[in-house]
Structure 1
Amino acid sequence: MDDRTYTADAEPGDHVTVAGWAHEIRDLGGIAFLIVRDKTGKIQVKFAKDEMDEDLVETGTNVSRESVVQVTGSVEEEPRAPTGVEIVPESVEVVAPADPELPLDPSGKVDAELPTRLDNRTLDLRRDEAKAIFEIRATVLAAVRDYFRSQNATEINTPKIVATGTEGGTELFPITYFGQEAFMNQSPQLFKQLMVGSGLERVFEIGPIFRAEEHNTPRHLNEATSIDFESAFIDHQGAMDVCEGALKAAYEAVAEECADELETLGLAEAFEVPEEAFPRLSYEEAIERVNATGDLDEQLVFGDDLSTEAEKALGRDVGGHYFITDWPSEVKPFYIKDHDDDPDLSTGFDMMHPNMELVSGGQREHRHDELVAGFEQQGLDPDAFEYYTKMFRYGMPPHAGFGLGGERLVMTMLGLDNIREAVLFPRDRQRLSP
């Protein structure tokens, strides 16, 4: 519709055609109102029954909720209307009628459980609250892209169907690829490392990753969006600098561009942009601080991973985003470089929100022989990764990077109870459709 006017742009004195959904019908006897909703908001359409064509009134007031309608008429000022204006219609067309029995109420007056909402996601995103989450998510991804570009990084797209898993193990989804066994990629890790050895040097990617984890929790998914960065000629400290900058850029963009959405979600006053530098705690210091809280039933010892309870205890103690650095080498993947002066400690880091891990990163092992030895130490066959390892014989620079969970970033930013709220069509152990 070339002549369509968005509801938010309708001004008194305008002659407009608006198109959207029949949000609500209010019949007050001699006068009735149709509320039309589009992506920019809502507008009231007024039907003075005694003054208008009977067929016009019937069409506009008998339409079922959520039908697609097109209304043409004059915009008049009306202080009592929700937006201060209303349309006096000349014509109303029902473009696509909706079934009167809706599986959920897009007006939000009647709550629906999350499974029902996910089963009917198209209807669910007609709710202002659900739509606001995805407008914010889009702003986050745009801001991160802009930030990486400001850091002279080139956006890349790597394969999601691979011959070998990035990290091996049981978290692989096998598929049949023209008679061969293949897998859905767990991470772009190996490919982005190859790219820092190319003429590109500094790259980023925002794309799907697949993990066959059997977790069924409010913060795990089997298909997720990974925000990845990798750069030649930086160490793990430099990677943490970029990581912190990307997260702050996302928060700043949401604060500047999504005031209406934050208001819709009830976060306008509580939303804060991180300003202070994120603390960088060594793994050993993190263990000590967790134990000092007294919140765990058993004390952690060096070499333990941090449980969910431990992460939350440390998060409460720190009170904001922070890094955990210098993890034990044995708990980090084969491609993470160890410290030169202490091979028992890695350059791996995690970036944490007070409630959960958001980022895993580190400096990578760029020396061919040491990389191959790392494969063998973790029980992986270097020959299966020959496409990757051979490039390290041709001059691979020192490099570092990270992967940031896109959904976890949105979830923690908005205080969502379930990560599935931040995904259009989640994929988990129970959900393969829609």
Structure 2
Amino acid sequence: MESRTHTADATPGDHVTVAGWVHEIRDLGGIAFLIVRDGSGKIQVKFEKDERDDDLVETALDVQRESVIKVIGDVEEEDRAPTGVEIVPEEVEVISPADPELPLDPSGKVDAELSTRLDNRTLDLRKEEVKAIFEIRAEMLRSVREAFRSLDCTEINTPKIVATGTEGGTELFPITYFGREAFMNQSPQLFKQLMIGSGLERVFEIGPIFRAEEHNTPRHLNEATSIDFESAFIDESGAMDACEEIVRAAYEGVEANCQKELEALGLAEEFAAPEEEFPRISYEEAIERINATGELDEQLVWGDDLSTEAERALGEEVGQHYFITEWPSEIKPFYIKDNDDDEQLSTGFDLMHPRLELVSGGQREHRYEHLIEGFEQQGLEPEAFEYYTKMFRYGMPPHAGWGLGAERLVMTMLGLDNIREAVIFPRDRQRLSP
């Protein structure tokens, strides 16, 4: 196809070739209009029937919505057109016709259930507001990568096929690997720690994780994208500092570069990057504050994990991003280091949005003997993780880090009702296609 002009760049006086989808057809008798949509926007094409060739008019009016067409013609100023300009065509070519019966309406005039949208995701993404979500997601990831580099992090890529899971044999997807059992990795946790021992010192990864959880909720996925950070010679406080910086950078990038997309979602006026520091609340204080709300049927006690209702009650009170620190050691994974002053407390933390948890992190146990003890206390066989544990005998620096759910970040950032709206092709208990 010859060089084409994006619809957003069409200027009065230009002779252009535009190509895109037929968004709308309007036949008003002596005059007709096509609205053509491409990745940059929409443009009106005007057909004055008495002045245009009959075959040209017939081709334009017989085409079905969402067909792909090419239009060649002159751009003229027209204040009444949606974008202030229109094309007077001299040639219209139907490149790829669409069936007249569409499974959903990309114009958005007729709503569709989420399941129908996900079954027809290609059509769904032709909607301006849906496309906007993924433009924002892309900008969020770009901003995050840039912020990691400003923190002197090296980007790594770790295996997604593993012999053992990060937290043992639970919630793992088994696969057959050349006659042997293997698993889809739950997290890059163990590998990013090994990289800290390699001398890279500070690393990040953005990649898929797989969890065979039975959840079927608006905030759980079985394949997700994890944004991971790990650094040598910092404690949990330093890891929280980095976490706050990355989340703030994500918001700032979207605010600076996605105003058009935020406008499409109706968020342009209210969207703003967080300015205040994220409060750090101990687990014990969190339990007390949740119980004080009176929102739960039963009072929480020390050692309880936080339910969805508990997270919501505390989130409504805090009203912004916040950390929960000093979790009980017994409910954190084996690789989380205990507090030096009180072994009942861990160095683990979570970053919370008022709606839900975004991040889990903490300082890691870098001492070999203590690491082995942690395995045994959680009923895991250290021998199964020898590739990991043996490296702690060869000089492992103190280190800390975290993992952030990319979809959860987009979901909370944009106020989406369901996490699947933040994934192009989500994978959950029911959905394996497309």
Q: TM-score range by the shorter chain?
A: over 0.9
User: Could you tell me which amino acid in structure 2 is paired with residue 199 of structure 1?
Assistant: G
Instruction: Tell me, in whole angstroms, the C-alpha distance in 2 between the residues paired with 1:141 and 1:187.
Output: 18
TM-superposed CA distance for 1:168, in Å, is 1.3
1:36 partnered with 2:36: yes
- Equivalent residue, structure 1, for 2:7: 7
User: Could you tell me which amino acid in structure 2 is paired with residue 158 of structure 1?
Assistant: T
Change (3 A) 1:336 1:2: farther
User: Could you tell me which amino acid in structure 1 is paired with residue 202 of structure 2?
Assistant: R
Identical counterparts, % of pairs: 81
Instruction: Tell me, in whole angstroms, the C-alpha distance in 2 between the residues paired with 1:392 and 1:89.
Output: 71
- Equivalent residue, structure 2, for 1:251: 251
Instruction: Tell me, in whole angstroms, the C-alpha distance in 1 between the residues paired with 2:102 and 2:76.
Output: 32
1:108 partnered with 2:142: no
TM-superposed CA distance for 1:199, in Å, is 2.3
Change (3 A) 1:2 1:238: farther
User: Could you tell me which amino acid in structure 2 is paired with residue 384 of structure 1?
Assistant: A
User: Could you tell me which amino acid in structure 2 is paired with residue 383 of structure 1?
Assistant: E
Instruction: Tell me, in whole angstroms, the C-alpha distance in 2 between the residues paired with 1:299 and 1:52.
Output: 76
1:22 partnered with 2:7: no
- Equivalent residue, structure 2, for 1:367: 367
User: Could you tell me which amino acid in structure 1 is paired with residue 119 of structure 2?
Assistant: D
- Equivalent residue, structure 1, for 2:49: 49
Gaps of 5+ in 1: none
- Equivalent residue, structure 2, for 1:178: 178
- Equivalent residue, structure 2, for 1:204: 204
Q: Give the SS at the match of 1:346.
A: coil
Instruction: Tell me, in whole angstroms, the C-alpha distance in 1 between the residues paired with 2:142 and 2:2.
Output: 28
Instruction: Tell me, in whole angstroms, the C-alpha distance in 1 between the residues paired with 2:390 and 2:316.
Output: 45
Instruction: Tell me, in whole angstroms, the C-alpha distance in 1 between the residues paired with 2:356 and 2:266.
Output: 22
- Equivalent residue, structure 2, for 1:153: 153
- Equivalent residue, structure 1, for 2:395: 395
- Equivalent residue, structure 2, for 1:289: 289
User: Could you tell me which amino acid in structure 1 is paired with residue 165 of structure 2?
Assistant: G
Q: Give the SS at the match of 1:191.
A: helix
User: Could you tell me which amino acid in structure 2 is paired with residue 424 of structure 1?
Assistant: I
- Equivalent residue, structure 2, for 1:299: 299
User: Could you tell me which amino acid in structure 1 is paired with residue 277 of structure 2?
Assistant: A
User: Could you tell me which amino acid in structure 2 is paired with residue 210 of structure 1?
Assistant: F
TM-superposed CA distance for 1:198, in Å, is 1.0
Instruction: Tell me, in whole angstroms, the C-alpha distance in 2 between the residues paired with 1:303 and 1:2.
Output: 66
1:81-120 → structure 2 map (5 Å cutoff): 81-120=81-120
1:213-264 Cα offsets, whole Å, 9 max, x none, are 0000000000000000000011000000000000000001111111011111
Instruction: Tell me, in whole angstroms, the C-alpha distance in 2 between the residues paired with 1:43 and 1:334.
Output: 58
1:128-157 Cα offsets, whole Å, 9 max, x none, are 110000000001111110000000000000
Instruction: Tell me, in whole angstroms, the C-alpha distance in 1 between the residues paired with 2:235 and 2:15.
Output: 61
1:272-295 Cα offsets, whole Å, 9 max, x none, are 210000000000011011111111
- Normalised to the residue count of structure 2, the TM-score between the two structures is 0.99
Query: Alignment RMSD, CA only?
Result: 0.6
- Equivalent residue, structure 1, for 2:404: 404
- Equivalent residue, structure 1, for 2:79: 79
Q: Give the SS at the match of 1:74.
A: strand
Q: Give the SS at the match of 1:374.
A: helix
Structure 1 runs, 4 residues or longer, greater than 3 Å off: none
Bigger Cα displacement from structure 2, 109-118 vs 288-297 = 288-297
1:354 partnered with 2:354: yes
- Equivalent residue, structure 2, for 1:194: 194
Instruction: Tell me, in whole angstroms, the C-alpha distance in 2 between the residues paired with 1:53 and 1:154.
Output: 61
Q: Give the SS at the match of 2:18.
A: strand
User: Could you tell me which amino acid in structure 2 is paired with residue 34 of structure 1?
Assistant: L
Bigger Cα displacement from structure 2, 168-177 vs 324-333 = 168-177
Bigger Cα displacement from structure 2, 263-272 vs 420-429 = 263-272
Q: Give the SS at the match of 1:141.
A: helix
Instruction: Tell me, in whole angstroms, the C-alpha distance in 2 between the residues paired with 1:354 and 1:375.
Output: 33
Q: Give the SS at the match of 2:427.
A: coil
Q: Give the SS at the match of 1:197.
A: helix
User: Could you tell me which amino acid in structure 1 is paired with residue 226 of structure 2?
Assistant: S
TM-superposed CA distance for 1:2, in Å, is 5.0
- Equivalent residue, structure 2, for 1:424: 424
Gaps of 5+ in 2: none
Instruction: Tell me, in whole angstroms, the C-alpha distance in 1 between the residues paired with 2:106 and 2:185.
Output: 36
User: Could you tell me which amino acid in structure 2 is paired with residue 388 of structure 1?
Assistant: Y
- Equivalent residue, structure 2, for 1:126: 126
Instruction: Tell me, in whole angstroms, the C-alpha distance in 1 between the residues paired with 2:162 and 2:197.
Output: 20
Q: Give the SS at the match of 1:145.
A: helix
User: Could you tell me which amino acid in structure 1 is paired with residue 159 of structure 2?
Assistant: P
1:346-372 Cα offsets, whole Å, 9 max, x none, are 000000000100000000000011101
TM-superposed CA distance for 1:407, in Å, is 0.2
- Equivalent residue, structure 2, for 1:266: 266
TM-superposed CA distance for 1:109, in Å, is 0.4
- Normalised to the residue count of structure 1, the TM-score between the two structures is 0.99
User: Could you tell me which amino acid in structure 2 is paired with residue 386 of structure 1?
Assistant: E
- Equivalent residue, structure 1, for 2:333: 333
In the comparison of the two structures, how many residue pairs are matched? Answer: 434
User: Could you tell me which amino acid in structure 2 is paired with residue 276 of structure 1?
Assistant: E
Instruction: Tell me, in whole angstroms, the C-alpha distance in 1 between the residues paired with 2:157 and 2:4.
Output: 37
1:35-81 Cα offsets, whole Å, 9 max, x none, are 10001100000001011111011111211000000001000000000
User: Could you tell me which amino acid in structure 1 is paired with residue 110 of structure 2?
Assistant: V
TM-superposed CA distance for 1:28, in Å, is 0.4
Bigger Cα displacement from structure 2, 261-270 vs 402-411 = 261-270
Q: Give the SS at the match of 1:344.
A: coil
Change (3 A) 1:2 1:201: farther
Q: Give the SS at the match of 2:304.
A: coil
TM-superposed CA distance for 1:169, in Å, is 3.7
User: Could you tell me which amino acid in structure 1 is paired with residue 432 of structure 2?
Assistant: L
Q: Give the SS at the match of 1:387.
A: helix
Instruction: Tell me, in whole angstroms, the C-alpha distance in 2 between the residues paired with 1:143 and 1:66.
Output: 33
Instruction: Tell me, in whole angstroms, the C-alpha distance in 2 between the residues paired with 1:298 and 1:2.
Output: 68
- Equivalent residue, structure 1, for 2:226: 226
User: Could you tell me which amino acid in structure 2 is paired with residue 192 of structure 1?
Assistant: K
